[in-house]
Amino acid sequence: MNEKTVPKDSVWYVDRWVVGLKLVRDKMPENWNKEKYGEHPKFGIADDEQFGALLKKKLLEEVAEYSAKGELEELVDALELIYAISANEGVTPKELERMRLEKREKKGGFDGRLTWEGQQK
């Protein structure tokens, strides 16, 4: 596969391997598993445009993993990404929590397990 033909924000799977650009945790280079992933990793730094898109893509990946596996570790990953997305938008964790509580005050939370059945516009 020619690297020049790979869009920088693309990730797809080939025989269960991720091909293309994927956001990984900061300590991935020092924790690289050669037996699992191969000898020659290629790491880089995302530019501003790529970073925003890759954060969103990675959040969807982690939420899907939690949905499939039900493991709290996947929620930890999702929360880390939510904080990273917020920081990228200029919002601190403290401000995000204030916004969450404000919305909860206005609209409630999910503690009551309330459901609704009907059509949405």
Q: Tell me the C-alpha distance between 117 and 101, whole Å.
A: 26
Say what the pLDDT of residue 4 is.
Answer: 37
For the cut 70, the answer to whether the pLDDT of residue 109 exceeds it is: yes
Across the range 79-104, mean pLDDT stands at 97
Helices (H), 18-47: 34-37
pLDDT digits (tens, 9 = 90+) for 4-47: 343 444 554 445 555 678 899 999 888 887 887 777 778 899 99
pTM of the entire predicted model? 0.76
Q: What is the percent of the chain where pLDDT is above 90?
A: 63
Polymer length in residues for the chain: 121
pLDDT at position 17 is: 53
Residues near 19 by Cβ (< 8 Å), separated by ≥ 6?
Answer: 1, 6, 11, 12, 13
